[in-house]
Amino acid sequence: MSREVKADYDILIDFIKNYSIEDIVCNDFEKSLSAFHKKYYAYLTLIGEIQNNILEEFLNNLTTEQFNYLTESCSDIGTSFFNLFHGAYKSSKLILRSSIETFIKGFTKDEYSDVTNETSLYEVFRVVKTLPFFQSAVPKELIENIHNIYKQLCADVHTAHESHMERISALSHFPKYSKDEVEKITQLSSKLICNYTTLICIKFNLFYHQIHYKNLEIIKNGIEKKHRPLINNTL
């Protein structure tokens, strides 16, 4: 190892040992993280309930394969959250995009058996929108919302505009805080989680009504108020 490489490596080790996000935490930052956490915890609780009841009939024979994809979509949300509070905004959005792919596969596999083999998500959305489940008003609205968010995130995947470039030239760029970026990602994540949670609670409605009331209170944080009457069968 040359002297220059060794010197730079020593700087890297020192950076890692002293890495902290404490200096970027502020009121606006905490407000956004709180909003993200509230939705994420709702989805995490819902996935946990499914895991505990996966063999029960009121889950309409949800397969282990489907559940694994749904679990991965939740994991993707968590990883996106982690990247967000370090300031890795582009990767945070890329992983949100991945959560859409895994959610769609897990949610529709029972009706769309080839969904896990299709490589084009645009084709996946085309087919998914024709499925019987998505012909009623609310599911149709929610899948359109997810598709629109997917298209927004694709702009970052393909670096469609200069504004999507992060230009990271050194690790010392992290951690960082951008109020605009954090609020944008928080909004996208919150909308996605609400769409995921609501779709699951509509499709597996009997299961939803079997959940312990304490966990239901948490899960309701991931459901927009306008959709709660449908899920609660009070329309």
pLDDT at 30: 87
The answer to whether 84 and 182 have CB atoms below 8 angstroms apart is: yes
The answer to whether 74 and 42 have CB atoms below 8 angstroms apart is: no
- pLDDT (tens digit per residue) in 157-196: 666 455 445 555 555 566 788 889 999 999 999 999 999 9
Q: Which pair of tokens denotes residue 184?
A: 């944008």
Q: The pTM is what? A: 0.89
Residue 159 — left, alpha, or beta (φ > 0 → left; ψ -120 to 50 → alpha)? left
What is the average pLDDT across 198-204? 97
Q: Can you give the residue ranges of every domain in the chain?
A: 26-231
- pLDDT (tens digit per residue) in 127-166: 999 999 999 999 999 999 999 999 999 887 666 455 445 5
- pLDDT (tens digit per residue) in 72-113: 999 999 999 999 988 889 899 999 999 999 999 999 999 999
